[in-house]
């Protein structure tokens, strides 16, 4: 009984000492204030939020998201091939890829994929 009490007391003392030492060592200095300030997408959060934003960047981001979702739809296609009719699987796959290629050609033809003009 005395051995258990001694071990419990030592455990509590050691964990408390480690927590106090970690708290003292992790204090931020005033010179680190700039490093610990929030930084989001290159904009300073303390200034006006109404800064000019590049519409070309937004358009490229939207196109990326669309094609990213379509890639996620393409990934399970080989797995579904074994459980479905081969002819219907090939027709659906080719139709989906054809729509992707036509969409990519349209975006390219419109000049949406050009970053700088």
Measured distance CA(84)–CA(76) in Å, rounded: 12
Domain ranges of the chain: 53-110
Single out the residue of 60, 66, 35, 74 nearest to residue 111, CA to CA: 60
- Tens-place pLDDT, residues 58-103: 778 888 888 888 888 888 888 888 888 888 888 988 998 898 889 8
Q: How many CA atoms lie within 13 A of 83 on its CB side?
A: 5
- Tens-place pLDDT, residues 3-17: 999 999 999 999 999
Q: What is the pLDDT of residue 58?
A: 78
Measured distance CA(8)–CA(100) in Å, rounded: 65
Helices 55-74, 86-110: inter-axial angle, 10-degree rounding: 170
The helix/strand/coil state of 97 is: helix
The helix/strand/coil state of 43 is: strand
- Tens-place pLDDT, residues 22-69: 888 876 655 566 666 666 665 555 666 666 777 777 778 888 888 888
**pLDDT range class, residue 18, cuts 50, 70, 90:** very high
Q: What is the pLDDT of residue 57?
A: 78
Measured distance CA(63)–CA(54) in Å, rounded: 15
């Amino acid at each position: 009984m005395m051995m258990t009490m001694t071990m419990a007391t030592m455990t509590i003392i050691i964990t408390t000492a480690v927590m106090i030492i970690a708290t003292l060592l992790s204090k931020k200095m005033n010179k680190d204030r700039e490093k610990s300030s929030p930084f989001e997408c290159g904009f300073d959060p303390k200034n006006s939020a109404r800064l000019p934003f590049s519409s070309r960047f937004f358009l490229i981001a939207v196109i990326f998201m669309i094609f990213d979702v379509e890639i996620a739809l393409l990934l399970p296609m080989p797995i579904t091939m074994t459980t479905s009719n081969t002819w219907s699987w090939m027709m659906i796959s080719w139709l989906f890829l054809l729509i992707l290629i036509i969409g990519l050609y349209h975006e390219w033809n419109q000049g949406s994929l050009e970053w700088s003009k």
